[in-house]
Structure 1
Amino acid sequence: MFVSITDIDYAKSKWVDTRFSLQDGDEGRRKYAESHVTGAIYWDLERDLSNMTESAGRHPMPEKTALTKLFRTSGLKMDDQIIVYDDGGNPFAARAWWLLQYAGFKNSFIALEGFAAMKEAGFPIDNRVPEPLSTSVSPDWDETIYAPRQFVEEIVVGGTASILLDARSAERYRGEKEPIDPIAGRIPGALNFDWEQLKKEGIFKLDGIVKERLYTVVNPAEEVTVYCGSGVTAAPLYASLKHSGYENVRLYVGSYSDWISIEDAEIEIG
Structure 2
Amino acid sequence: MSEVFKSIKDVEIHDVKWIDARLSLQESDAGRKNFEEGHIKGALYWDLEDDLSDMTKNTGRHPLPDKQTLTELFRKSGLELDDRILIYDDGGSPFAARAWWILQYGGFKNSFIISEGFRALTEMGVPISGKAEVPNRSSVDPVWDETIFAPREFIEQTVEGKTGNVLLDARSAERYRGEVEPIDPIAGHIPGALNFDWERLKKDGSFNLDADVGQQLSQVVQHDDEVVVYCGSGVTAAPLFAMLKQNGYNNVKLYVGSYSDWISREVIEVEKG
TM-score, length of structure 2 as denominator length: 0.98
Give 1:264 shift.
Answer: 2.9
Give the aligned partner of residue 198 of structure 2: 195
Counterparts of 1:61 and 1:157, CA distance in 2 = 24
From 122, 134, 158, the counterpart of 2:137? 134
Partner of 1:165: 168
**How far apart are 1:7 and its partner, in Å?**
1.7
Give the partner amino acid of 1:84: I
CA distance in 2, matches of 1:198, 1:116: 19
Indicate yes or no: 2:6 matched with 1:8.
no
CA distance in 1, matches of 2:137, 2:271: 47
Aligned partner of 1:84 among 87, 92, 104: 87
Q: Which amino acid aligns with 2:261?
A: D
Corresponding position of 2:149: 146
5 Å matches for 1:82-121?
82-121=85-124
Counterpart Cα distance in 2 of 1:201 and 1:69: 37
The secondary structure found in structure 1 opposite 2:14 is helix
Q: What amino acid is aligned across from residue 185 of structure 2 in structure 1?
A: P
2:33 matched to which residue of 1?
30
Instruction: After the TM superposition, list the runs of 4 or more consecutive aligned residues in structure 1 that deviate by more than 3 angstroms.
Output: none
- 2:263 alignment counterpart: 260
Quote the residue 1:241 is aligned against: 244
d(CA) in 2 for partners of 1:137 and 1:51? 21
- Give the secondary structure class of the aligned counterpart of 2:113: strand
Provide the C-alpha distance between the structure 2 equivalents of 1:23 and 1:62, rounded to a whole number of angstroms.
23
User: What is the distance in 2 between the residues matched to 1:208 and 1:8?
Assistant: 20
**Which one-letter code corresponds to 2:24 in the other structure?**
S
Structure 2 distance, partners of 1:13, 1:7, is: 14
Secondary structure at the residue paired with 2:175?
A: helix
- The answer to whether residue 50 in structure 2 is matched with residue 51 in structure 1 is no
1:214-243 deviation line (CA, Å, top 9, x unaligned): 000011101000000000000000000000
Query: How far apart, CA to CA, are the structure 1 residues paired with 2:182 and 2:255?
Result: 21
Residue by residue, what CA displacement relative to the aligned partner does 1:134-156 show, whole Å, maximum 9, x if unpaired? 00000000000000000000000
Q: Which secondary structure does the structure 1 equivalent of 2:219 belong to?
A: helix
- CA displacement at 1:11 relative to structure 2: 1.9
Cα shift at 1:68:
0.4
Query: What amino acid is aligned across from residue 183 of structure 2 in structure 1?
Result: I
List gaps (5 residues or longer) in structure 1: none
Q: Secondary structure, in 3 states, of the residue corresponding to 1:11?
A: coil
Q: Find the aligned partners of 2:89 and 2:77 in 1 and give their Cα distance.
A: 17
* Structure 1 CA distance for aligned equivalents of residues 134 and 14 of structure 2: 17
Structure 2 unmatched runs, 5+: none
1:182 to 162, 182, 185: 185
Q: Tell me how far 1:113 sits from its aligned partner.
A: 1.1
| AA in 2 matched with 1:136 | S
Aligned equivalents of 2:52 and 2:155: distance in 1? Answer: 22
Residue 189 of structure 1: how far off its partner (Å):
0.1
Other-structure match for 2:221:
218
Instruction: Give the CA RMSD over aligned residues.
Output: 0.6
Q: What residue is the counterpart of 2:233 in the other structure?
A: 230
Q: Say if 2:96 is the partner of 1:123.
A: no
Task: Using the aligned pairs only, state the percent identity.
Answer: 63
